[in-house]
Each structure stands twice: as structure tokens, then as C-alpha cells.
Structure 1
Amino acid sequence: MKTSPLCNVGAVLAGGAVGGALLSLEWTLAVFVEALLRGASPRELALLMVMPLLVGFYALPGFILAMGVLGWPVWALLHAIGFRSQRVAIVAGATGALIASIVLMAGLNGWSMIGLIWLVLPGAAASWTVWRLAYRQAVRPPPARPS
């Protein structure tokens, strides 16, 4: 299969968008559940509906930037040494996101187990998206019946 990390800008952008959107969804869900558990008013819960837009405003560009700066070189290296499977992509994305969360938490001086795993799912989903777009087989229609 002929593909190159250098030719798949769209795959990296799409992967970053998927990761950022999933991070926004995770964050919104966590805040919403916390508000429900503490007995927030219906008005406050209604205001939380705009949370995905607010979080996404930062999460989408941040994840796209991280995919371009960190994910792309890792992908190019893995591609060059022949590691191109779906499993490798998912593990690499989850591991990269875990490392990024450790670095972020060290910079913010706040450690928690939830904080460590917060980015793992979006990282895995982002790298799976890149793998899917870059390495998918072209869908071909079945051959026509001979007449």
C-alpha cells in the first residue's frame, strides 16, 4: 500500500479534530455529571449545554496542533520502520496522549489519576482516525458479470 505521512495532511487534521471533539465531550460530560450530583438548578444545567462550544474552542485547535507537532513525527517514524497496523496506531496515540497529560500535569503542579487518563481515549481515537484515513483500502465495486 502506498501512503506517506507527508502526503496525508488531511488525515492529521481530521485526527486532531476527532481528538479535540472527544476531549470536549469528555470534559462536558464530567462537568455535567458533577453538576447533577451536587444538585444544580435546571437553569445552571441549561447553561452547561454551551460547554462543548467553550471547551471545543480550546480543545480542537490544541489537539490539532499537538497532532501536527507531536503525532506527525511519531507517525513518520513508525511508518518508516514498518509499524503500520491499526493496533500500533491506537497504542501510539494513547501513549503519546498519556505522556502529554503527564507533561501538562507536571507544568500545572496538579497530579491525579483521572488527569493522567483524561487524554488517553481522545489520543487513541485521533490516531485511529489518522490510520483509518491514511491506510484504508480503496473500496472497489465488484466486477461486472460477463455478458
Structure 2
Amino acid sequence: MLTAPQLIDHLQILLTRKTFSFAHYITISSPYVAPDKASLWDLAVSQAAEDHEAALAVGRLIMSLGGVPQPGIFDELVADTNYLSISYMMKELLRRRLNEVAETEKSLPLCDGYPAARECVLKIWEIEKLQIEQIKQAVAAAMPPPEIVPEPSAKDPANNAAE
């Protein structure tokens, strides 16, 4: 079992991830949103708000354990994603969410002996799993697979009608 200071150190990482979430970044990066992709934008905004609420919950948890919430720094690599399409950004958000849910799952055993911490991290993990499904559904709905039209066959009599 971790000591409270050790758990706080681990929670600071989760706090940073939620404070500076990629969903939040999407909302400030000026992505191109075509009218038919507005639902993807709405989902990014909604998930950014959920991440903000999670950050607040983790911050309160850290304080309840005697720590001071200290989110780290913004991931500078995401700055390369300004002005891209919302479709691209949501695919990137999905990739990142898949990594996040795995990291959060690894955090659960670290909360053993701290029921409030386990409850908080478990709730975040469950929300992340739901967010993944929301993104998958929204992306599938907003970007249906392309229609594949077969090339005309030379043996098809309809193609030889002009001859």
C-alpha cells in the first residue's frame, strides 16, 4: 500500500492529464468544423467539460489527503495540431483516450487502502471508457465509410452499347 504522499504524487499525474486534456485542447485549437461535423465539435466540448470536472475532483482528493494540487505543464507536442479538421482531431482524441483508460486502470490498485481515492479514480476510469464509446459512435456517424463503386467491366454489354 502506498503512503498518502506517494499516492498524492501519482494523483498529480492524473490531475495534469485531466487539467490539460486533449479534449480541452481541441476546443482552443481552432479546428476546421464543417457544418456536417458539428456533432464532433459538440462532443469535444462536452468531453472537455467532463475532464474539467474530473480535474476538480482529483484536486479535491489531493487536498483531502493533505496535498496541494499541482498540475504539471501542457503537453507541447499537441501544439502541432492547430487548425486541423475536427475529424482528424477526434481520431487523435480517440487514440489518446485509449491510452488514458489503460493508465487510469493501472492507477486503481495504487488506491488500495484509500476508499475515497479508489472511488474517484474508478469513476474517472468509467467515464473514460464511456467517452471512448461516444467518440467511436460519433466518428462513425459523422464519417460514414466511402461508397465503393466498381469500375465498369469491358465484358459488360452496357459498356459496349456505343460501339
Output the TM-score relative to the length of structure 2: 0.31
Higher RCO, 1 vs 2 (CA within 8 Å, ≥6 residues apart): 1
Greater C-alpha radius of gyration? 2
Output the TM-score relative to the length of structure 1: 0.34
